[in-house]
Chains A and B, each alone.
Chain A
Amino acid sequence: MKTPPFLLGATLLFWGWQSDFPLAGAAMGLALESARFIRARWEMADAEIIRIWNFCSLLGLAAAIFAFTSNEGPATFGKMLEYPNLQNSELAGTSSTAAVIGLLRWLPMIFFGFMLAQAYSSRTEFPLDTVSPFLRYRRQRRLKRGQPAPRLIHFNAAWPYFVICLYAASAHAATEQTFFWGLCGLLAWALWHQRPQGIGRLVWVGALGAVIIASLFGQRGLGQLARLTDLADNYNAQWLARFMRHGTDPAQTRTAIGQIGELQMSPQIVLRVTPVNGAAVPTYLREASYRTYHAPVWYAGGSPDSFANIPETPPNSGHWTLQPGRTNHTLVNIACYLGGYNPKDGNPLGVLPLPVDCEHLEHLEAYSLQNNLVGTVLAEGPGLVIFDASYGAGTTMDSPPATNSAPGLSDDLLVPDKEKPALDSVIATLPLAGLNEAEKCRVVSQYFAVHYQYSVWQAPDKKSPALQTNETALARFLLHTHAGHCEFFATATVLILREMGIPARYAVGYVVHEPAGNHYVVRSRDAHAWCQVWNGRAQTWEILDTTPASWVATEGKRLSPWQFVADTFSWLGFQFAKFRWGQSHLRPYLLISLVPALGYFLYQIIFHRRRHQPAATGPAVPPVNWPGLDSEFYLLEQALVRRGLERRPGESLTHWLAQAGGDPAVAGMDTKLRELLGLHYRHRFDPQGLAGPEREELRQKTRACLAELR
């Protein structure tokens, strides 16, 4: 199907205008449309078309390389391969996008030669084989095998070129609607010429007008949709994080103290802890510590920017030293998700659950690592990190309690005034006289173990004096209910110790207790809070967990019998996350597994012929001995061909001789040749054949002619 007159010229003009190549567009359009007025045409064989197509393809390849290199493609891709992180990936993506857009803009120029060839060719359509090496190969293979060749498909390059020009015209940034209106005009031009019979012009114009108006309204809707998509993109990570990951705010944590009802905790697996070299796993993995309590929230104190960078030594080694100078060799492998996102660059960000006495981290592929004064370690990196943590008895990352000169002194001994009466009444019941700090801690721990119970249920007690007085939830726990969850115990312990003058901090994290094969799983409901108390003699922080040990069994009873199904899916999700965030060894394994296959294929290519062997020579078939094949006229034909009288395939001998009659090579031999041809035809095709004398005549006269030609 031909393109409507002047459509391609107009499209090229439009492309030139939109792509800032107005002169090129005008010249190309003029050159193409001039073919309508120039009658001369180029007789092109398939081989010539293939050559032009190959030239255009090579030009396209060169343009692609130029576009890629001029947009810093090699540098960004090299950087991405060397340091694969999100930022470098984004940079590589940006440069490749710029290269593609640049190439797209040049496409009309790249394929202009092919289009021009068609415009000035005597053929209105080209065979598809000329642009497809695959089709050419298939055709040649079939012909070689003696099979019938596939049907030739012809195509008009003008329509693909029209589409290419329109896409090339769109390869620029703009806010105005000029591209839209130009596109409407050109599409209307193209569609007008193929409207079916029986459709009135007014109906057609009305229908297209309706489509254009709907498109304009649709553009507005698209804008709204784009904004919604942006919102969804931003929210998506947070929303997914609710299901996939937990998030701990290093600055503060809101406790459930004071909430009525049952504390609902998810059985979802959030951590996987694997002992290394058979070592025991740490029971407590701390995420964050806090200093200041304003019911029901614990605050870390300090400013949000109080995090200090931890250097990776050496760079890109995955080795991060948290406490220089210590040499612990007990390792534990921890896999955890980074729950949040850095608002600046969008990278995953989260608090690492670590043993409190962690010394250094290995194989941690994080972009950056920071810690604060209370031992919280914040990592920015892939959404899932798997690393080895080295730990052992000794000092912790936490800063010691502030001295009098330090501004943070009050934080580790601060007790809210509202809580003091209840704390004092509890302390009054404790036998603390003459005990040192360590013994006091033991007494407090025993007090909670004897008088208190673990409970995730907080019933509203209508008869409680708390309803009539200003008694806090913590005071109610300490004085009346004597039952609560870990946050009650940890908060109460921290505040009691502080009230007794012992520095203490509130810590949150997980308790590792559930083995699963060769590793341990930590569920969301294993989240725990405990007290960290300062041991002045050892100059270190120690864990003081006063929550009754029954809490683990209590939480275990709440597991569903179908939990293994959810755990299976969790494991699958974990494996996928490992693959997604590059934490698995699957990629190298995949590459390695390809090596034998590649070797096998290479072997097949080099040493084996293809499955379809060429046909073996069958039993010898005697050649068909058609009558007349021994005619001497064939010698005459060869002699004339050697003298330049080429005979085309399929051309009859009569026609050939008639055409050759005017040639000086056979001047004066016309009659003889015609006479010989008559004899030859009779010898060749007459069922009676030639009689003996006639056969001899053919032989002799042909020899005479041959001699004359020499």
Chain B
Amino acid sequence: MNWLWRQIYRQYRLFSWVQHTAGRRLTPAGAVVLFCLVLTLLLGVNRESMVSYQAITLLLFLALAAPLAALFFRVKVGVTRALPRFGTVGQTMHYPVLVKNLTTKPQAGLVLMEDVTDPRPAFPEWLAQKQAEQQSMRPFWLSGRPRSVPVSVARLRAAPLPSLPPGRTVEAGVELTPLRRGVLSLDGATVGRTDPFGLFRGLIKIPAPGKMLVLPRRYPLPPLAMGGSLKYQDGGVALAANVGQSDEFVALRDYRHGDPLRHIHWRSWARTGKPIVKEFEDEFFVRHALVLDTFAGQGNAELFEEAVSVAASFACTIQTQESLLDLLFVGAEAYCFTAGRGLAHADQMLEILAAVRPAPRAPAPDADQMTPFLKRMLSGDAGIKTFADLEHLVINHAALVSNCICIFLAWDEPRRRLVEKLKAAGVPVLAVVLVAEAPKVPLDPGPLRDEPHCFHTLVLGKIEAGLQRL
């Protein structure tokens, strides 16, 4: 069976290569000529009743001459790209690319195409995806195409270049629509020109690597009135994030056992002869927890993507000037990131969400593709692999937070138990459950039965409308 899957995978790679190459090489007119050639070959069999066979050689030689002429296409250009740092899934963006003619001849009729790094999955990933699709299928049942994350990472349109005088630089406006979040790598750019008949493009690749981070899609959210109270934060804002030191100095006092050495005020010690430590102000402020369920399971890739989008929408909407927002999730390891009150901004939260992977099959993003911020934030956490561990992480954190927004990919017993425990700890909970299809019977809110307005079901395809009802 594995052999068969490998053969299918090879066919998939071959077919996708043909599709990709044909899309870049063939112009619409070229595609029509090729189609007509095939049709004419079929009709040309009947030489007694039709003269279409006379068109066979003409179309054939046109189809042969076009690639032949494209072989002689030579051009030397330099490409400089002003790639934005961030993009957003589904949002078309434009950026300039400077193309310099390095030849001594004027160049005209050129088009510029961006080369995205091959996004096709390796065999193990592809196999896992296919098997997951098969598991979700029902035999002899008509259904739509299985929902999955698109393979292509971006939709790009060839940008026509204005005439290029020798040694001059022109600017091309590239239109790019990211389709998947994460790091979008560009290998380089391709400059092409059609053959004299306008059927086939000759292409020259120019290495010009570039990277951008594609942030998750975000939805507008109505103003949120989250419950909960101010919480005492030991060590203030800075220690709330486990980094840095608070500057909110209040007074000096005698050393007590257990005080950190860095709080000792050395000059006072020298002056008084006994250890004196600095005392910091107690801080009380609102702290939100945003729990992202990453245990998507097989075949729920699209659902997981939407969950990340919902999390990103919350991360952008919650006002963090006067509060903190903790993002808790489990990827390859367990993570807790804090933003707000100058610690980190929403865009950094979005960077993290751009790199979130589902927990069970989550290889950590390649280190060389991460921004320095990501590298710093993703280092040094303990490994947590199951939902029970996410529950452990959240419950341990519950004492610090004012309220908790949980984005779940299912509404099963472990998740209900987590909500129940949070409620028992006195933490107001807003539970958002994403489902692939609208359930025939509305989901039972379980522990949130007494607060139905805190339990929301979002159906795939109607996420935006569902969020408006929050």
Q: Is B142 located at the chain interface by the 8 A CB criterion?
A: yes
B109 engages A613 (CB within 8 Å): no
Q: Is B3 located at the chain interface by the 8 A CB criterion?
A: no
Residue of B32, B48, B193, B462 near A198 (CB, 8 A) is B193
Q: What CA separation (Å) do A197 and B162 show in the bound complex?
A: 10
Q: What CA separation (Å) do A101 and B461 show in the bound complex?
A: 47
Write the chain A residue with the least CB distance to B28.
A1
User: If the complex has contacts A211-B62, A222-B57, are A194 and B50 also in contact, measured as CB distance less than 8 A?
Assistant: no
Write the chain A residue with the least CB distance to B48.
A173
CB contacts under 8 Å to A, within B252-286, are none
B457 engages A146 (CB within 8 Å): no
Chain B contact surface mostly: loop
Binds A, one of B127-135, B364-372, B438-446: B438-446
Sample of 14 further A-B pairs with CB below 8 A, known A604-B141, A621-B469: A101-B49, A146-B462, A167-B43, A170-B43, A174-B51, A179-B54, A180-B51, A180-B55, A194-B198, A198-B109, A199-B196, A215-B58, A219-B54, A597-B140
Binary CB contact string for chain B from 442 to 470 against chain A (1 if under 8 A, 0 otherwise): 10000000001001010101100100010
Residue of B49, B108, B138, B196 near A97 (CB, 8 A) is B49
User: If the complex has contacts A197-B108, A616-B442, are A191 and B465 also in contact, measured as CB distance less than 8 A?
Assistant: no
Q: What CA separation (Å) do A614 and B194 show in the bound complex?
A: 49
Binary CB contact string for chain A from 18 to 30 against chain B (1 if under 8 A, 0 otherwise): 0000000000000
A212 engages B65 (CB within 8 Å): no
Q: Which B residues are CB-close (under 8 A) to A173?
A: 48-51
Most buried by A among B43, B49, B56, B107: B49
CB contacts under 8 Å to A, within B44-67, are 46-58, 60-62, 65
Q: Which A residues are CB-close (under 8 A) to B196?
A: 195-196, 199, 203-204, 207-208
Query: Can you report 13 A-B residue pairs in the complex whose CB atoms are below 8 A from each other?
Result: A97-B46, A163-B36, A170-B55, A171-B50, A191-B198, A198-B193, A207-B69, A214-B61, A218-B60, A611-B138, A612-B143, A615-B438, A621-B469
Q: Which B residues are CB-close (under 8 A) to A617?
A: 442
Write the chain A residue with the least CB distance to B63.
A211
Binary CB contact string for chain A from 169 to 209 against chain B (1 if under 8 A, 0 otherwise): 01111100101100110010001001111110001100110
Q: Point out residues on A near B: beta carbons under 8 Å.
A: 1, 97-98, 101, 145-147, 159, 163, 166-167, 170-174, 177, 179-180, 183-184, 187, 191, 194-199, 203-204, 207-208, 210-212, 214-216, 218-219, 221-222, 226, 597, 600-601, 604, 610-619, 621
User: If the complex has contacts A195-B198, A207-B197, A611-B143, are A145 and B462 also in contact, measured as CB distance less than 8 A?
Assistant: yes
Chain A contact surface mostly: helix
Write the chain A residue with the least CB distance to B436.
A612
Q: Which A residues are CB-close (under 8 A) to B140?
A: 597, 600-601
Q: What CA separation (Å) do A233 and B423 show in the bound complex?
A: 83
B465 engages A98 (CB within 8 Å): no
Q: Which A residues are CB-close (under 8 A) to B440?
A: 613, 616
Q: What CA separation (Å) do A184 and B57 show in the bound complex?
A: 11
Q: Is B39 located at the chain interface by the 8 A CB criterion?
A: yes
Q: What CA separation (Å) do A173 and B46 show in the bound complex?
A: 10
CB contacts under 8 Å to A, within B175-207, are 193-198
User: If the complex has contacts A611-B138, A612-B144, A613-B440, are A198 and B108 also in contact, measured as CB distance less than 8 A?
Assistant: yes
Q: Point out residues on B near A: beta carbons under 8 Å.
A: 27-29, 32, 36, 39, 43, 46-58, 60-62, 65, 69, 106-109, 138, 140-144, 163, 193-198, 437-442, 452, 455, 457, 459, 461-462, 465, 469
Q: Which A residues are CB-close (under 8 A) to B48?
A: 173
Residue of A183, A199, A221, A615 near B55 (CB, 8 A) is A183
A618 engages B438 (CB within 8 Å): yes
Q: Which B residues are CB-close (under 8 A) to A601?
A: 140
Write the chain A residue with the least CB distance to B53.
A222
Please list the 5 inter-chain residue pairs (A to B) with the smallest Cβ-Cβ separation, ordered nearest first. A218-B57, A615-B438, A196-B109, A198-B108, A170-B52
User: If the complex has contacts A191-B198, A612-B144, A616-B441, are A147 and B461 also in contact, measured as CB distance less than 8 A?
Assistant: yes
Q: What is the distance, in angstroms, from B311's C-beta to the closest C-beta of chain A?
A: 21
Q: What CA separation (Å) do A365 and B109 show in the bound complex?
A: 67
Q: Which B residues are CB-close (under 8 A) to A600?
A: 140
Q: Which A residues are CB-close (under 8 A) to B57?
A: 214-216, 218-219, 221-222
User: If the complex has contacts A179-B51, A218-B60, A611-B141, are A208 and B197 also in contact, measured as CB distance less than 8 A?
Assistant: yes
Q: What is the distance, in angstroms, from B336's C-beta to the closest C-beta of chain A?
A: 32
Q: What is the distance, in angstroms, from A186's C-beta to the closest C-beta of chain B?
A: 11
Q: Which B residues are CB-close (under 8 A) to A611?
A: 138, 141-143
Residue of B61, B143, B195, B438 near A218 (CB, 8 A) is B61
Write the chain B residue with the least CB distance to A217.
B57
Write the chain B residue with the least CB distance to A218.
B57
Q: What CA separation (Å) do A216 and B61 show in the bound complex?
A: 10
Write the chain A residue with the least CB distance to B62.
A211
Q: Which A residues are CB-close (under 8 A) to B142?
A: 604, 610-611
Q: Which A residues are CB-close (under 8 A) to B465?
A: 146
Q: Which B residues are CB-close (under 8 A) to A221?
A: 57
Q: Which B residues are CB-close (under 8 A) to A184?
A: 58
B439 engages A170 (CB within 8 Å): no
B61 engages A211 (CB within 8 Å): yes
Write the chain B residue with the least CB distance to A601.
B140
Write the chain A residue with the least CB distance to B55.
A183
A183 engages B143 (CB within 8 Å): no
A172 engages B51 (CB within 8 Å): yes
Q: What is the distance, in angstroms, from B218's C-beta to the closest C-beta of chain A?
A: 15
Q: What CA separation (Å) do A597 and B139 show in the bound complex?
A: 12
Q: What is the distance, in angstroms, from A22's C-beta to the closest C-beta of chain B?
A: 17
A170 engages B50 (CB within 8 Å): yes
Q: Which A residues are CB-close (under 8 A) to B442?
A: 616-619
Write the chain A residue with the least CB distance to B65.
A211
Q: What CA separation (Å) do A105 and B369 show in the bound complex?
A: 60
Q: Which A residues are CB-close (under 8 A) to B61?
A: 211, 214-215, 218
Q: Which A residues are CB-close (under 8 A) to B28?
A: 1
User: If the complex has contacts A147-B462, A197-B108, are A180 and B58 also in contact, measured as CB distance less than 8 A?
Assistant: yes
Q: Which A residues are CB-close (under 8 A) to B108?
A: 196-198
Q: Which B residues are CB-close (under 8 A) to A98?
A: 49
Q: What CA separation (Å) do A507 and B138 show in the bound complex?
A: 63
A613 engages B54 (CB within 8 Å): no
B58 engages A211 (CB within 8 Å): yes
Write the chain A residue with the least CB distance to B164.
A198
B439 engages A616 (CB within 8 Å): yes
A196 engages B58 (CB within 8 Å): no
Q: Which A residues are CB-close (under 8 A) to B29?
A: 191, 194
Q: Which A residues are CB-close (under 8 A) to B69?
A: 207
Write the chain B residue with the least CB distance to A614.
B438
A195 engages B197 (CB within 8 Å): yes
B437 engages A612 (CB within 8 Å): yes
Write the chain B residue with the least CB distance to A199.
B196
Q: Which B residues are CB-close (under 8 A) to A187?
A: 58, 62
User: If the complex has contacts A98-B49, A208-B197, are A222 and B56 also in contact, measured as CB distance less than 8 A?
Assistant: yes
Q: What CA separation (Å) do A166 and B462 show in the bound complex?
A: 48
Q: Which B residues are CB-close (under 8 A) to A610?
A: 142
A618 engages B457 (CB within 8 Å): yes
Q: What CA separation (Å) do A187 and B33 show in the bound complex?
A: 10
A183 engages B65 (CB within 8 Å): no
Write the chain A residue with the least CB distance to B36.
A163
Q: What is the distance, in angstroms, from A565's C-beta to the closest C-beta of chain B?
A: 21
Q: What is the distance, in angstroms, from A26's C-beta to the closest C-beta of chain B?
A: 21
Q: Which B residues are CB-close (under 8 A) to A191?
A: 29, 197-198
A198 engages B107 (CB within 8 Å): yes
Q: Which B residues are CB-close (under 8 A) to A207?
A: 65, 69, 196-197
Q: What is the distance, in angstroms, from A101's C-beta to the closest C-beta of chain B?
A: 5
Q: What is the distance, in angstroms, from B299's C-beta to the closest C-beta of chain A?
A: 15
Q: Which A residues are CB-close (under 8 A) to B195?
A: 196
Q: What CA separation (Å) do A125 and B248 show in the bound complex?
A: 68
Q: Which B residues are CB-close (under 8 A) to A203?
A: 196
Q: Which B residues are CB-close (under 8 A) to A159?
A: 32
Q: Which B residues are CB-close (under 8 A) to A171?
A: 49-50, 52
Most buried by B among A180, A210, A617: A180
Most buried by B among A183, A226, A610, A619: A619
